[in-house]
Structure 1
Amino acid sequence: MTDTAVTDSERLRAAASSVLLGNWAGGSTVPSRTLYPHQWSWDSAFIAIGLRHLSPRRARRELETLFSAQWLSDGRVPHIVFNDSVPADAYFPGPDFWQVGVPGEAGLTGTSGIVQPPVHALAAWEVHKTDPEGSFGLGFLRRLYPRLVQWHDYLRVHRDLGGHGLASIVHPWESGWDNSPCWDAPLARVNPADPTTYVRRDLAHSDAADRPTDLDYGRYVRLCTDYREADYDDTRIEHAFAVEDPCFNALLAVSEHALADIAEAVGADPAPHRERAGQLTSALIDRLYDPASGIFRCRDLRANSANGEDALIDELSASGLIPLVIPGLPDDIVRALLHTASGDRFGLGRVHLLPSYDLLSPAFDPARYWRGPSWFNIAWLFHRGLRQYGAEADAKQLREGLLDAAGRSGFAEYVDPHTGEGRGIRSFSWTAATTLDLIGDRD
């Protein structure tokens, strides 16, 4: 490595560290000080992966704060943990909307009622490996392991809405890919909430051209309201939106592998987790892999509610490339995913990072949230998959592109895949976190 490269890495590391330290809120890290002033579930997992390079103690605290708000009733990990030092109306939907309390937890006013992708066991294992002595000494894995098991059990038992071994999301926000074109058809069946009954807070902090439309937002609020009125009981509601998403389930499979490693470390039996990871992988392939397009696709469980039939959604999202992170995929599927990623629809190596949606689709939008822009956490995941399957040249190019885009954009929330222009919020935590992790990989 040249002296210039070392200097650049040191400057980038210092800048990324400053973002994470600046967004630290005492027990966890906010995604941003403006648009996202609370703790978000899968954000915290990526943040912990980055924080471990600065402070393993703080990285452990990040995950333990999140899991302190885990629902004792069913094991779900909510997608937002609200901080009582933040005004209740600073974010919508806030704690008053969700009407979920967290009794006895200082600093927490409540949580949301939906979830986000289960990347937490992977994060916990990576954090532990950075400082195993400190982790063992403080009982980090021993405390977190049963909570992670309960979290996975909730998804495995309560969310297998299709009955074929995959977890379903019941709201677009649960995917993490909030307003992907994949959700357009399922959402079209949802009557939007009355726009006079709520106020969007996101538009005060971000360009409306970057954010979901008012119509989509009304549908999001309707789904949340219906779930709340059913007391968030998956047995009491026929979810109007029910989708099997490849990214969500791929992360569940990877986290089951991580949970097996954690189990072994704490003296528990890893075999059930290895078995579940294998079952999830098989179900993903059987249910969501489309050999004709060389990608995994989302499955709409309510595609034909009259006769109960489901169907693959006719949209190509980078969510369908993320299963590359799963170890042990069949060789033909690995080759197909690499071919699809580098083809004209995703342009790996010819555009900035990895676009979130099909570049050739009429629905592609380079600026609007998850309808095309490239996200740093998604690039981090795909980089992990590339390295796992020996695509080192592609992995190196993606890593260097991520580091360049992060530093140049001021750690933007996401970037335009064609121009590399930063979009959304700046000083975004998971952008800084994935940057820190990949600087370590470079070094």
Structure 2
Amino acid sequence: MLFAFTKPPVHGWAVSLIEAMQPGFLTPERRAYLKEKIGRQVDYWLTHARAGEGTLPGYFHGNDSGWDNATFFAEGGPVVSPDLPTFLILACGTLADLLEDDAVRAAAWRAKADDLGKMLVEKLWTGETFRARLADDPGRLLPDRNFIQFMPLLLGDRLPREMARKLLARLGEGGFVTEWGPATESPDSPFYEDGGYWRGPIWAPTTLLLWDGLRRQGEMELARSVAEKFCSLASRNGMAENFDARSGRGLRDRAFAWTSAAYILLSASLSQEQS
């Protein structure tokens, strides 16, 4: 057990995805367990990872984000990035759904989601995309050729349509999606590295997040294309920890569980579409 780092609060998003794919997953027992655990998780980020109620929470270290050495951590931290408030907004929405028998607490979680959504736009939207910023120097923009900027697509219709349109255009024009899938740093970026861990290679979790974000924006054909690319990549090159975005070559650990899990989910989605 390691207490040096945490990981991003994706659990609200994940639970809602599981329930959507497998109705009935949220039994009364699971609801009781999850609303307590996810509620404590969100409270941690909103209490201990930000300066106050009028600010967004941030990551103290790259490992906290799961994007360990990504370019937006090149100057240290804490870093405020668009994925964290996105995950927390989704978690608040999941909590509101789990509290279907407690209208007052459900409304409180929805209000927190609304506040986070407003701050996400006010503090990280540039007019063209979402940018990560240093918590102690928010006027200074960090590198923007990384894939983190597209995570707010997961917000679905919570994200204003014009912002979604600009993000989708940037995704297509920025060279992020190679023949193998979405690169964590665009191959057109001066910081791109074929074997750069989070500075270029394709990862299963971010691919899955993009796939779901595209679906939530109604971009079903593009979501299908992303799923097909990743499944082809894994079928050809194994369940590696990550993959060279230009050659498709498997990198690092060659038998990784979350790669396998994403492959199973995405291949199942393609099979369902064909049936």
Q: Same fold (TM over 0.5)?
A: yes
Closer/same/farther in 2, CA of residues 163 and 404 from structure 1, 3 Å limit: same
- The residue that corresponds to 2:182 in the other structure is 354
Matches within 5 A, 1:312-331: 312-327=141-156, 328-331=158-161
Does 2:128 match 1:298?
Answer: no
Contact 2:9–2:88 (8 Å) recurs in 1: yes
Residue from 88, 91, 105 that aligns with 1:255? 91
In the alignment, the residues of structure 2 paired with residue 130 and residue 380 of structure 1 have an alpha-carbon distance, to the nearest angstrom, of: 14
In structure 2, the residue matched to 1:338 is: 168
**Offset, 1:181:** 1.4
Q: Whole-Å Cα distance in 2 between the matches of residues 324 and 259 of structure 1?
A: 20
Return the alpha-carbon distance in structure 1 between the equivalents of residues 54 and 188 of structure 2. Answer: 32
Gap runs ≥5 in structure 2: none
Structure having the larger proportion of residues in helix: 2
1:279 paired with 2:146, answer no
Deviations 1:222-243 (A, max 9, x none): xxxxxxxxxxxxxxxxxxx211
The Cα shift of 1:288 comes to 0.9
* 8 Å Cα contact 2:179/2:229 also seen in 1: no
How many residues are paired up? 269
Q: What is the rounded CA distance, in whole Å, between the counterparts of 1:271 and 1:163 in structure 2?
A: 18
Q: What are the Cα deviations for residues 199-219 of structure 1, in whole angstroms up to 9, with x where unaligned?
A: xxxxxxxxxxxxxxxxxxxxx
Q: Would you say the 8 A contact 1:324–1:334 is kept in 2?
A: yes
**Is contact 1:288–1:312 with CA below 8 Å preserved after alignment?**
no
Give the corresponding residue for 1:229. none
TM-score normalised over the length of structure 1? 0.57
Shift in Å, 1:163: 5.4
Deviation of 1:130 (Å): 5.7
Query: Conserved in 2, the CA contact under 8 Å of 1:249 and 1:284?
Result: yes
- Residue 79 of structure 2 is matched in structure 1 by 243
Correspondence for 1:368 among 196, 208, 217: 196
1:123 aligns with 2:19: no
> 8 Å contact 1:170–1:243 — kept in the other structure?
yes
Deviations 1:158-180 (A, max 9, x none): 21237533111111111110001
Task: In structure 1, give the amino acid aligned to 2:32.
Answer: R
Secondary structure at the counterpart of residue 99 of structure 2: helix
CA RMSD, 1 decimal: 2.0
* 8 Å CA contact retained: 1:168, 1:245: yes
Work out which of the residue numbers 20, 37, 40 in structure 2 matches 1:147: 37
Q: Kindly report which structure 2 residues correspond to 1:64-79, keeping only aligned pairs within 5 A, or say none.
A: none
The CA distance in 2 between the partners of 1:131 and 1:383, in whole Å, is: 18
**Cα 1:243/1:287, change in 2 over 3 Å:** same
Report which stretch shifted further, 118-127 or 391-400. 118-127
Q: Distance in 2 between matches of 1:422 and 1:133?
A: 37
- SS of match in other structure, 2:74: helix
2:252 alignment counterpart: 424
Please give the alpha-carbon distance, in whole angstroms, between the structure 1 residues aligned to 2:206 and 2:25: 30
1: CA distance, partners of 2:87 / 2:214: 15
Q: How much has 1:134 moved relative to structure 2?
A: 6.5
1:41-440 equivalent positions in 2, closer than 5 A: 82=1, 111-128=2-19, 135-136=26-27, 139-161=29-51, 164-185=54-75, 187=76, 241-264=77-100, 267=102, 269-291=105-127, 294-303=128-137, 310-327=139-156, 328-346=158-176, 348=177, 350-440=178-268
Q: What one-letter code is carried by the residue in structure 2 that aligns with 1:370?
A: W
Q: Provide the rounded CA distance (Å) in 1 between the counterparts of 2:258 and 2:27.
A: 26
Paired residue secondary structure (1:311)? strand
Pick closer, same or farther for the CA change 1:162–1:408 going to 2, 3 Å.
farther
SS in 1 for 2:136: strand
1:440 to partner: Cα distance: 2.6
- Please name the residue that 1:4 is paired with: none
Matched residue SS, 2:135? strand
2:218 aligned counterpart, secondary structure: coil
* Amino acid across the alignment from 1:302: D
Query: Structure 1 CA distance, aligned partners of 2:6 and 2:246?
Result: 31
String of CA shifts for 1:127-185, please: whole Å, max 9, x gaps.
Answer: 45566656526x12202211211110111122123753311111111111000111112
The DSSP-based 3-state class of the residue aligned with 2:134 is strand
Relative to structure 1, the CA distance from residue 402 to residue 147 in structure 2 (aligned partners, 3 Å threshold; closer, same or farther) is same
Structure 1 residues 119 and 152: alpha-carbon distance in aligned structure 2, compared to 1, 3 A threshold? same
Alpha-carbon distance in 2 for matches of 1:395, 1:127: 18
- Kindly state the Cα deviation for residue 310 of structure 1 after the two structures are TM-superposed: 4.6
Query: Which structure would you say has the larger RCO, counting Cα contacts within 8 Å and 6 or more residues apart?
Result: 1
Using the aligned pairs only, state the percent identity: 27
What is the distance in 2 between the residues matched to 1:242 and 1:324? 23
Mapped to 2, the partners of 1:437 and 1:247 lie a distance apart of: 22
Matches of 2:15 and 2:227, distance apart in 1? 22
Give 5+ residue unaligned stretches, structure 1: 1-81, 83-110, 188-240, 304-308
Q: TM-score, normalised by structure 2?
A: 0.90
CA contact (8 A) 2:240 2:252 kept: yes
Distance 2:89 2:216 in 1: 15
* Change in CA separation of 1:134 and 1:380 when aligned onto 2, cut-off 3 Å: closer
Assess, with a 3 A threshold, how the Cα gap between structure 1 residues 183 and 123 changes in structure 2: closer, same or farther: same
Shift of 1:260: 1.8
